[in-house]
Structure 1
């Protein structure tokens, strides 16, 4: 599992991406080397959400890359997605695990809270996410996290760490050096002029950096 959570974690947010462009945009990110894809849609349009998630799942499977569903454990179960990402108001990791099974990838947003990350690890999460680390156009109001938090988390956690929030190809080395195993990118990737090239540029940051490896289990 540790090796799956590494590199560019591309978040396809339908708030930013026109629905008709969603599949093509994700395919370009995968061609650029994205390691994981997350489908993020906050609407209540269940039929469209199912269709989009199912379509993205097919694209991801062609590239042998996991598809993670944001928030909605039941949708993840319904389409047989590879996992779910949970926020503060979502199911507990243990409950999501009961629904999705032992092989599912379960991630937890931990904002700037190391204690929440430690609890998520103890509850069976597969990775935790901290952020935002830099000013973000996508979520400008998001809680600020520090590079020192990443360093401390890397010392105390065994599971992979994802950094999110305002991360560019220029500042990505800072979070990688501080302990991030992956960077989650939304607008910085999908609002770029060349999604494939931008994805490759993010992935290159991991190839050129000495990656902090999570502790072995």
Structure 2
């Protein structure tokens, strides 16, 4: 059964686009503009910085009724009682994340363009799988490309939600929804200008696709 709340605009933070002092205002603007999920992604901050920022973002998401997930760190997600975690193929696996988080939390898994990986993740207890990149990505330019048709095939074979990521903007996101995506994960098109007014407007445009 598809998780009913994994649907809509899925905002992902990026420290190269959002300086520390602008993180909370930019995140709040995305939520005000309609983002239904927010993932904290930061590969450069110290553990203490990440702990503090994740806790603040968690509070913000709860205020706006959105889901909050931590990227790649199930231990941190468990510590701050986040709604879940998003892991890659080399981040310790679903079983470890589930042990740390417990049965009620969300675990999302990157599956690139591999339907077999997605089926394995679903069988192992993932709550959603993410495919992409579908379009040229400024965040991960070297990521392998994915054909939007994989969403259609996955929607026929999987019962968990499908998240699309990679170069998504208001002009190209609609076709991914038509192919079967339940949520659109966006970084650059949302936070390339971290001014709150710009983020909110971008979030509104992306949310309107749903």
TM-score (norm 2): 0.95
Aligned residue number for residue 51 of structure 1: 52
Aligned ranges 1:1-12 → 2 under 5 Å:
2-12=3-13
The separation in 1 between residues aligned to 2:128 and 2:92, in whole angstroms, is: 15
Aligned residue number for residue 209 of structure 1: none
Deviation at 1:94, TM superposition (A): 2.0
Tell me whether 116-125 or 35-44 shows the greater mean CA deviation.
35-44
The separation in 2 between residues aligned to 1:15 and 1:68, in whole angstroms, is: 19
Aligned residue number for residue 122 of structure 1: 123
Aligned residue number for residue 153 of structure 1: 154
Aligned residue number for residue 205 of structure 1: 209
Aligned residue number for residue 20 of structure 1: 21
Aligned residue number for residue 136 of structure 1: 137
The separation in 2 between residues aligned to 1:201 and 1:12, in whole angstroms, is: 18
Q: C-alpha root-mean-square deviation of aligned residues, in Å?
A: 1.1
The separation in 1 between residues aligned to 2:102 and 2:141, in whole angstroms, is: 35
Which aligned segments of 4 or more residues in structure 1 are displaced greater than 6 angstroms? none
SS in 2 for 1:111: coil
TM-score (norm 1): 0.92
For 1:6-49, what per-residue CA distance to the aligned partner results, in whole angstroms no more than 9, with x for missing partners?
A: 01000012232101100000000000010100000112511111
The separation in 1 between residues aligned to 2:38 and 2:45, in whole angstroms, is: 21
The separation in 2 between residues aligned to 1:101 and 1:50, in whole angstroms, is: 19
Q: Which runs of 5+ in 2 are unaligned?
A: none
Deviation at 1:137, TM superposition (A): 1.4
SS in 2 for 1:21: helix
Q: Which runs of 5+ in 1 are unaligned?
A: 207-217
The separation in 2 between residues aligned to 1:7 and 1:183, in whole angstroms, is: 6
The separation in 2 between residues aligned to 1:82 and 1:40, in whole angstroms, is: 15
Aligned residue number for residue 36 of structure 2: 35
Kindly tell me the number of residue pairs found equivalent between the two proteins. 206
194, 199, 204: which one pairs with 1:195? 199
SS in 2 for 1:13: coil
The separation in 2 between residues aligned to 1:200 and 1:190, in whole angstroms, is: 13
SS in 1 for 2:98: helix
For 1:55-99, what per-residue CA distance to the aligned partner results, in whole angstroms no more than 9, with x for missing partners?
A: 111111111111100000111111111100010111211221111
Instruction: Confirm whether residue 77 of structure 1 aligns to residue 81 of structure 2.
Output: no
The separation in 2 between residues aligned to 1:44 and 1:11, in whole angstroms, is: 16
For 1:148-203, what per-residue CA distance to the aligned partner results, in whole angstroms no more than 9, with x for missing partners?
A: 11111111110000000011101111100011000000011011461111101111
SS in 2 for 1:50: helix
The separation in 2 between residues aligned to 1:132 and 1:3, in whole angstroms, is: 24
